Amino acid sequence: MKNKFKIIILLTLLLIVNTCASSIPDQIKSYSVNELLAHFKLNGIDTKQFVNVFSLSNKILNKINRDEIKNYSESRKAKIIGYFILTNLKVKYDPDFYAREDRSAQEVAESKIAKCTEFVYLFLAITRHFGLKTHMILVSQGFQGYDAFHAAAILISNKENVIIDLSAYDYYKKFYNIKHKKYDILNDIEMLAFFYANIAQTLSLNSNYQESLLNYKIAIKLKNHEPRFYANLGRLYFQLHNITESENYLLKAIDYYSKDKNLFLSDYINSHIDITTIYLHHNIDYEKAFNNLFKAYKIITRYDRSIFTINKPNYSALYNKSQLLINKLENKDKKRILEKIIKFAKQELTQ
């Protein structure tokens, strides 16, 4: 009986220790192009919208001698391919990545610049060609301990799982075995979801709202519990003055964020603040406005702000909306809470 109890405890600990442990990759799948196209059809997505992000010419692939590296370990192959991308193809990190859409591996190799997601497409295209099991990871807490919204690659092998972050090389002169603290391993369908979400974000920034809507909805069909997609779609609908849909998607984002183990904190706060704007100025409901503003305040004060990045606009919005709301409520206790929030936000803004 004692041994049985010990086994149960051990199994429980193994499940808890690390959400990124080696037991997870069994659930992660690589998909062929035909399988991805079939998934598009199954989810009612026009296959004309499909982009093969792993597309890469033999001219590039043949630059690495297969016979030369065939007997190398998986980790050594991954390192060689990483250095090949950085030194032979001479691909560098693109600091102006917000200005454009994601591109395929071939386009990245030709342009010589890449954002974090694009480094992953190129790395995965080459490593999989040489038989390595690699995937994209979505990083929510980086190796220095700060919160992040960042993509890197992971090599999954029998010995260990190793993170390869080529976009870190320009800044830190290393890319292999980067010790990011929190991340999700994505299967190829989930990775494509972020590809379309990135396209949608760029289209929105360029005021191409209808195409942006289309791409966000593709992203949601591919990964339908991702809070960032719902939050950004809610903001896009707000820009289009569709307040009903804006409220609907922001509420979904808040719900999914509340269950998200790898939380993108700043956007969770923004989602509460954005929906407060709706209840203050459009679908007037001051009680709901107060509840969401108070929730944003509690989130900010709950987390370690030396790790999680709380931006000045978060504090500014908290301050301004509390000032507006305090004159709308009659409840004295809630007014006192708003006074406390105003004082807190003002202090943070003056630091």
Q: Please give the chain's pLDDT, 351 residues, in tens.
A: 444 433 333 333 323 333 343 344 445 778 989 999 999 999 899 898 899 999 999 999 999 988 889 899 999 999 999 999 999 999 999 887 766 889 999 999 999 999 999 999 999 999 999 999 999 999 988 888 877 889 999 999 887 899 999 999 988 889 999 999 989 999 999 999 999 999 999 999 989 999 999 999 999 999 999 999 999 999 999 999 999 999 999 999 999 999 886 667 888 999 999 999 999 999 999 999 999 999 999 988 887 666 566 778 888 999 999 999 999 999 999 999 999 999 999 998 888
Residue 288 is predicted with a pLDDT of 97
CATH architecture of 225-350: Alpha Horseshoe (1.25)
CA–CA distance, 230 with 135 (Å, rounded to integer): 24
pLDDT, position 134: 96
- Cβ-contact 171, 12 below 8 angstroms: no
The pLDDT of residue 146 is: 79
User: Strand runs (DSSP E) across 108-201, as ranges?
Assistant: 113-114, 134-141, 147-156, 161-164, 182-185
Contact 69, 82 (CB under 8 A): no
- Which CA distances in Å does 273 have to 145, 236, 285? 26, 15, 14
- Side chain identity at residue 245, one-letter code: E
Is the separation of the CB atoms in 159 and 22 below 8 Å? no
Which pTM does this prediction carry? Answer: 0.85
pLDDT for 135 equals 96
- The architecture CATH gives domain 32-189: Roll (3.10)
Beta bridge partners of 153: 136, 164
222, two tokens: 């591919």
SS3 content of the chain, % helix, strand, coil (to 5): 60, 10, 30
Sign of CA dihedral 150, 151, 152, 155: positive
Domain ranges of the chain: 32-189, 225-350
**Same fold flag, 32-189 and 225-350:** no
